[in-house]
Chain A
Amino acid sequence: GQQLNQSPQSMFIQEGEDVSMNCTSSSIFNTWLWYKQDPGEGPVLLIALYKAGELTSNGRLTAQFGITRKDSFLNISASIPSDVGIYFCAGQRTSGSRLTFGEGTQLTVNP
């Protein structure tokens, strides 16, 4: 079953606002990945984090790998309508092992 707690479950924001979501775990992960999924589509990789404390950006997206290796957050700055979708965090314990997913954060952006 799921072992990652992702919050918030949903967010309703205005275009231009910044967004923050996070994932926490009771156990350590060596890799954190963030995905975005549109309805009926496959998850699209946004950012991959491989080192505790690592802060990585991809355009308006910034994600950090927590120092304890038990958490990660994703920030989206200056949101736009196409940011709408479900964002999933995923942790990987060891290289090549399965991903464990969070429950997802449903983001709605009002123009």
Chain B
Amino acid sequence: DSGVTQTPKHLITATGQRVTLRCSPRSGDLSVYWYQQSLDQGLQFLIQYYNGEERAKGNILERFSAQQFPDLHSELNLSSLELGDSALYFCASSVARSTGNTIYFGEGSWLTVV
């Protein structure tokens, strides 16, 4: 158990709909990252938040948005869903050590758009 909690684990929705994926980072971790993994693909970075502020943006579509709340949990909002948005969405959180960061992933939210 990495300590990073994601809900829901599975989600099936229709094209054009909107969904929200939720992530609770490890206790004390200020950074939250979102990644997308399509079938048989690697992990593509979407966006990072640090202590409530957006820190870095990757290949995130304009239809997608995210935020990190004061209690440090984060939500990824996916709207106007298309079939190609079907993927595993991972949240990760990081802890800074004196030697460097260690990043832990949640179990993922499996989104199927039909």
Q: How far is the CA of A82 from the CA of B31 in the complex (A)?
A: 31
Count A/B pairs, Cβ under 8 Å: 68
CB distance from B64 to the nearest CB of A (A): 16
Instruction: List residues of chain B with CB within 8 A of the CB of A66.
Output: none
Neighbouring B residues of A2 by C-beta, 8 Å: 42
Cα distance A92–B58 in the bound complex, in angstroms: 14
Question: Cα distance A31–B100 when bound, in Å?
Answer: 7
- Taking the nearest CB of chain A, how far is it from the CB of B25, in angstroms? 13
Minimal beta-carbon separation of B50 from chain A (angstroms)? 7
Among residues 11 to 48 in chain A, which have CB atoms less than 8 Å away from a CB atom of chain B?
A: 30-31, 33, 35, 40-45, 48
Q: B107, A41: Cβ atoms under 8 Å?
A: yes
Say which residue of B42, B90, B94, B96 sits within 8 Å of A42 (CB atoms).
B90
Q: Which residues of B contact A (CB under 8 A)?
A: 2, 4, 31, 33, 42-43, 45, 48, 50, 55-56, 58-59, 88, 90, 92, 94, 96, 99-108, 110
